[in-house]
Structure 1
Amino acid sequence: MPMQATTTTPLFAAELTPNRSLGSRGVWVVVGLCALFAALPTLIFLSLGAWPIVGFMALDVVAIAVALYVSLRRGKRREHVTVWADQLEWAAIDAKGGKTLRRFNPKTVRLVLDRDADEKTVALRLRHGKDELEVGSFLNPDDKSSFAKALGTALRKARLA
């Protein structure tokens, strides 16, 4: 079945991504430095015949590589939030590429903010009846707060339309 083309422009559209401070170039720099720092003592311990130390150093390098791989996979998560006059659409792509799509009626969905003692936003949820969905769980509190303000404004516009 062919997809239907949307002719209306959304009231609000946002793509949420986690902050990635280490790019692909940074990964290569970290791996290269780890290999260099592990190679120099390895040569010394090999010449002394300290095989167990060399083995543990190899395990350290493997552990660092696995930690980098796992941390960079989390950075591939995405959430798309789009608000039209007649619906709110939330689409999530997880680290493995799996997609989840949920649609809500903007007139009946409620934006719920959880705040800490300092009035910083710690969670942003969409509530539709008994069903709740947390949006942007990977964002920092300041980003959650500004996103909640923009999304709340878009929901108010959708309710008036």
Structure 2
Amino acid sequence: MTSHQETLYFDATLTPNRSLSPRAFALVMGIVVAMSFFAGLAFVSMGAFPVIGFFGLDALVIWLAFHLSFRSLKQETRVRVTAEQIDLRHTSPGQKPREAQMPTAFTQVRLEFPERRPSELKLAHGGKAWVIGRFLTPGERKSLKEALESAIWRAQNERYST
């Protein structure tokens, strides 16, 4: 990626925000399972035996939804800015890492607001644009845009001041 002699103007690893700790997840699932079990027992006592299976299926679907959500928390994007280039590396569970390099001098940082979708932070160069930080909040995207613009400006000043 970068040699050891280059000044690093920006180096950040972006990760999704965790909304539920493992302990809170265990508590929520315990409550869901207990409610399903006791509601299922009530239906069994009334003679509706098949209903308990549906309560078990509900608990399983809720667990699966949390599992998929926690799996998506393992993705990350690394952004590095030097005087020469900007390096991007995005990793997601079960997928190959995606990498891109673009020259610092000609890269644009854009925060776009498309209709019916959340804002998108893009790094653009040569007719291509890479969306970064899809999992960030709008405020975090704006803050990241400002930090990247500042880093690019400082990198360009170093490169062209000598």
- What is the TM-score normalised by the length of structure 2? 0.87
Change (3 A) 1:41 1:28: same
- Match of residue 43, structure 1, among 41, 44, 56: 41
- CA deviation after TM superposition for structure 1 residue 90, in Å: 0.6
CA deviation profile, 1:47-82 (whole Å, cap 9, x unmatched): 332122112111111110111111111111111101
- 2:156 matched residue in structure 1: 159
Task: State the number of aligned residues.
Answer: 156
- How do 1:14-53 and structure 2 match up within 5 A? 14-53=12-51
Structure 2 distance, partners of 1:9, 1:25, is: 41
| Higher deviation after alignment, 43-52 or 139-148 | 43-52
TM-score between both structures, scaled by the size of structure 1: 0.87
Kindly indicate whether residue 132 of structure 2 is the aligned counterpart of residue 95 of structure 1.
no
- Please name the residue that 1:147 is paired with: 144
Q: What stretches of structure 2 of length at least 5 have no aligned partner?
A: none
Structure 1 unmatched ranges of 5 or more:
none
Percent identity over the alignment is 30
Q: Which residue of 2 aligns with 1:63?
A: 61
RMSD value, Cα = 2.1
Indicate conservation of the 8 Å contact 2:110/2:145, yes or no: no
Q: Deviations over 1:118-151 (max 9, x none)?
A: xxx9221111111110011111110011110000
